[in-house]
Structure 1
Amino acid sequence: MIYLDYQATTPLAPEAFDAMLPWLRDSHANPHSAHGPGRAARAAVEVSRDQVAALLPAGGTVAFTSGATEALNWAIKSVGEPIVTIATEHAAVLDTTAAVGSATILPVGCDGLVDMDAARGAIGPGIKLVAAMLVNNEIGVIQPVAELAKLAREAGALFLCDAVQGYGRVTIPDGCDLIALSAHKVYGPKGIGALWIRDGVDLLPLLHGGGQEAAGRSGTLSPALCVGFGAAAALMQSRGAEDAEKVERLWNIALAVLDDGWIVNGSTEHRYRGNLNVRCGGLEVARLMSDLRDIAFSAGSACASGSGRPSHVLRAIGLSDAEARSSIRIGFGRYTTEPELIDALTRIDAAARAQRVAA
């Protein structure tokens, strides 16, 4: 199996697995207990918290959560309406803002970048929260988060950054008030994320029942998951330049292989290059995936797969239903080899060409 779905989830780093193992096998104490084993577990959690925080702006607190979805729900539901966000946000933002109430949804251009004129018109006095994704999970576009955060600050609103896909890869601006993270997008374990909360920002708890965690979040933490997240974050910090260089090289290889008949969706300039979302006219993606079962790639974001609906992100950048349905997402990173990427994309390209000939 050639794995090319890094936006859905990254492989677990061996170093993160090794760090977790003792806490799964040998050390079972509750990190909120006052006895010795409990204090040892708590100490491991705090080391992990510092490791995660090392890639974030100074002057805030990392509160561990069950994942980015909880972190985003916590931030949005605590701050409340009116909210300004972007049409290409993750469902965890769009669905939560809809549940909260009043939200202004900013359009994007064909490149996937937010319409800044619309943003300046919408972000003004009375707005409580502005929410924007740093790196889009479907098309990899990097939004001008620093500019949006500045508009929010000038309007007296808080700024929430969904940094799930960008954490450790793209610099997170200092102007953020709230930052949502997920471990399994950075070679850590599934089931844990975090909400970074700037000093001075007070949130109401989303979960009640003990307030064990930072900022009053209730629930027993898993030392194993926290340690895995921390180890993965430390690797993102130490290997950042190496990972970026490799991703750039793989991106150039991918464009060279898919050089005829394929169109990149979204900006190629303002983009994290480990995400290649492309379309090919008339492509039947379901058939393509059936023909290439030993290659793992995506027909859209994993969260929307199986819905039968065209991607809301691809529709937002102006693609027709047919164009959106003929798009695939290729995700690669630290553990992708050049030979397997070339092999996979060559076969994808050949299968797409065969479909066109058959048609």
Structure 2
Amino acid sequence: MRLIKQPFFSIVNNHLIEYPTPINIHYAWNFGFLASICLIIQVLTGIFLSMHYIPHIDLAFSSVEHIMRDVNYGWLLRYAHSNGASMFFIVVYIHMFRGLYYASYVNPRHFTWVIGVIIYLLMMGTAFLGYVLPWGQMSFWGATVITNFVTIIPVVGKYILEWLWGGFSINNATLHRFFCIHYLLPFILIALSLIHLAFLHQKGSGNPLGVNSSLDKVSMYPYFIYKDFLGLSAFILFVSFFLFYAPNLLGHSINYLRANSISTPLHIIPEWYFLPFYAMLRSIPHKTIGVVTMLAAIIILMLLPWIHSTEIRSSRFRPLYRVAFWIFLACCFLLGWIGSQPMRVSYILLGQITSLYYFFHLLIIIPTLGKLERVLLDYKID
């Protein structure tokens, strides 16, 4: 028995208690911990919801209403799960932008960053599949639009779509498959998250200064465990507002209508966390180019460790990049707003400009500013 328990306690001790943590990290480093809490909440609430949900096109909508009205605290489970998805993305977006600001993606943590982007991609897939399950109007038409993206694949795209649907249109087989995959993906996310954490702890956490702090570290417990739980307390208060006072604020009211395949909504809009990429897709009139652009906007993030062109990590010591970062952040918010607006020429034009700047920042500004700052630094030293 002692041999069985020993490895577990050793892992806990090495990674949660005595793990050496840079002494100067602040609350921006809390969001990795909060992301793991969100994932656990999503898995637990999802398991309990699946006990009452029926993945059938004739019964799915009614089963969700049954959960809301008849199951004891079913409304709490459902709202915790649906709002929990939004909270998960809020936390992950802050976590990612913190990584961009402090260049946490630079060697030796480049593989940690790449795995993080893969986790983000799987999160998006899991969220999309989950949004289809209530079988409301926006769920059905959102699934119709998104699944049609595979038709851009030459020759076999149409056959892949029919295989994905399980027929020639979205039907009961489609819903059942989406439910099974949605149930499976969170466990893959847990496995990838553990790998993400293992890579991070192998190389050590970064810090706001972006310098090697191997000689200035303290154990994670009690200092940063307490700090994480203080951040968790504030996060619970933030989530509670949405959960108890505005549970439908981040969703679409039209999804409370049962799916109707012969009545198309006036505006088909995805959930808010997809809106920046939806704006890119919609601003390009060519379907294939639009889908490729949308996917490239995410995949390009994996290349950042090799695009980065300076040894200086933290934006605290890069005034030019710091300004560019905040412009980029504003660009992402603007893309999200554009994605929520109706199709008009002015919004399409603005979406094209902001989409172009998104790629311009990642492919041109980041490497160029790194080289420019290095030249200016050498000139100042001389």
- Structure (1 or 2) with the larger CA radius of gyration: 2
Q: TM-score, normalised by structure 2?
A: 0.25
Structure with the higher helix share, 1 or 2? 2
Structure with the higher strand share, 1 or 2? 1
Q: TM-score, normalised by structure 1?
A: 0.26
